[in-house]
Amino acid sequence: MPSSDPPPSSPTAEEETWTVGRLLAWTQQRFAQVGIDSPRIDAEHLLSHALGCSRMSLYVDHDKAVNGPERVRFRELVKRRLAREPVAYIEGKRGFHALDLELAVDGRVLIPRPETEHLVDWMLEELPPAGGLVRKGLDDVIEEPAEQDDDARGEEAEASPISEEPRVELLDESEPWVEADASGSDAASEARASSGSGAASEARASSEAEPVEPAPPPPDHRAVLDVGTGSGAIALALKRARPTMRVVACDVSGDALAVARSNAERLELAVELVQSDLLTRVTAPAGGWSAIAANLPYVREPVWRGLAPEVRRFEPRLALDGGEDGLDVIRRLVDEAPRQLAPGGGLYLEIGYDQGQSVPALLVARGFVDVAMRRDHAGHPRIVRGRWPGGA
């Protein structure tokens, strides 16, 4: 069993014996002793951060000796983790989304979770590149296929049954996608056929004579809003994937907006930032928002007291505590959003594991249609989407 103290940081007779491998083994055991969930991964993150190398390099240099100054740095990081400070805050960064945005994070903002990537993915499916695919029609209330992630905010140590609230029936979903310029009419088919071979021959001759410049992308008049942006994770992922789309992000916390602004500038992504309590200081574009995304506080106040120390002691309570039933802030946004959404615009909400009935019911009661839910990788309800049919 390892000593309870971090590895020695001052030169000793054993200095050369503190190799990368030995430090990892010691730290992994020590973290496991105090109940840290991912002791090996956390040890690798901290040692690679202290040495300024990749985690892969730790395996390549497994037998390499770690010198005194490097051990001093590592020792301080280990002490912070033993105090249960999250690794993301210790490193000052967290990767997000398949596009691999590296976001700066600290105690002013919630640490982005993999579950929130499901929200971004769903929005990108339904907000395709300008000139791409479009979705037809509005469905009834539906449930997306289940996927298999760790719990979002540590609010559920074990899977809990869905609460017995008034139920919203969730049906299977079909995805009626069509090409934006597709036409099923006979007239369109005849027109294409009649223009046929002559046009094709001319096009081939022209292309052989001189390269043709690709057509510029069509104008993108869509605008989306990220409410409660925190570090800017959702807004920046959307802007990276849809660079021609207008993206606006708001947060009630000026400190959080400072982090989001820093991330946007470093990533060179033009996202507009507004300090606002939900939509109170947000001005919708003409015609309304194409979509509104929100990862709002949804942890029930009684659950707050039982959260892991990493969450309860270090992450901002303002971004987590949703009141007695977890829905205080979500309920307000569901009420406000229709006044700013475009007809057919979507409201995308991250929710708690036990809110898979209550949040869809809120949307249906407010008049949203095409209400659907997706689950996270652990099988828990995690994202709800509803479309606003028009009017406020």
Chain position carrying tokens 């029609």: 137
The answer on pLDDT for 204 being more than 60 is: no
Given this model, what pLDDT does residue 7 score?
A: 62
User: Which whole number is the average pLDDT over 162-189?
Assistant: 37
Average pLDDT of the residues of the chain: 82
Compute the chain's Rg from CA coordinates. 25
Per residue in 91-150, pLDDT (tens digit) is 999 999 976 799 999 999 999 999 999 999 999 999 988 755 444 333 444 455 444 444
* Average pLDDT for 83-89: 98
Cα–Cα dist 127/129, whole Å: 7
pLDDT band at 209 (very low <50, low <70, confident <90, very high): low
β-strand pairing of 177-179 with 133-135: antiparallel
pLDDT in tens, 34-79: 999 999 999 999 999 999 999 999 999 999 999 999 999 999 999 9
* Per-residue pLDDT, 309: 95
Mean pLDDT in residue range 377-387: 96
For residues 269-275, give the mean pLDDT: 98
Contact at 8 Å (CB) between 344 and 387?
A: yes
Quick one: pLDDT at residue 128? 87
Share of the chain above pLDDT 90, in %: 68
CA-wise closest residue to 228 among 253, 264, 258, 246: 253
Q: Which residues contact 158 (CB under 8 A, 6 or more apart)?
A: none
pLDDT in tens, 290-336: 999 999 999 998 898 899 999 999 999 999 999 999 999 999 999 99
The dihedral built from the CA positions of residue 4, 309, 107 and 99, taken in this order, carries a sign that is positive
Comma-separated ranges of CATH 3.40.50.150 domains in the chain: 109-176+217-387
The pLDDT value recorded for residue 285 is 96
Please list, in sequence order, all residues whose beta carbon lies within 8 angstroms of the beta carbon of residue 94, skipping any fewer than 6 positions away: 88, 102, 103, 105, 111, 112, 231
CB 43 within 8 A of CB 24: yes
pLDDT reported for residue 221: 84
pLDDT surpassing 70 at residue 82: yes
- Integer angstrom CA distances of residue 317 from 85, 90, 326: 15, 19, 12
Rounded CA-CA distance 238/245 in Å is: 8
User: Please, where in the chain does CATH 1.10.8 lie?
Assistant: 15-83
What percent of the chain stands above pLDDT 70?
Answer: 73
Sorted by sequence, the CB contacts under 8 Å of residue 151 that are 6+ apart come out as 157, 353, 376, 378, 380
β-pairing verdict for 272-275 and 369-375: unpaired
Pick from 202-206, 281-285, 367-371: least confident: 202-206
Which of 159, 122, 141, 112 has the alpha carbon at shortest distance from 354? 159
CATH number, domain 109-176+217-387: 3.40.50.150
Q: What pLDDT, on the 0 to 100 scale, is given for residue 280?
A: 98
Dmax over CA atoms of the chain, in Å, equals: 89
> What pTM did the predictor assign?
0.77
Side-chain-side CA neighbours of residue 186 (13 Å) = 0
pLDDT in the model for residue 390: 80
Rounded CA-CA distance 297/320 in Å is 4
- Fold for domain 15-83? Helicase, Ruva Protein; domain 3 (1.10.8)
Alpha carbons 342 and 362: distance in angstroms, whole number: 19
Residue 3 dihedral angles phi and psi, to the nearest 5°: -60, 155
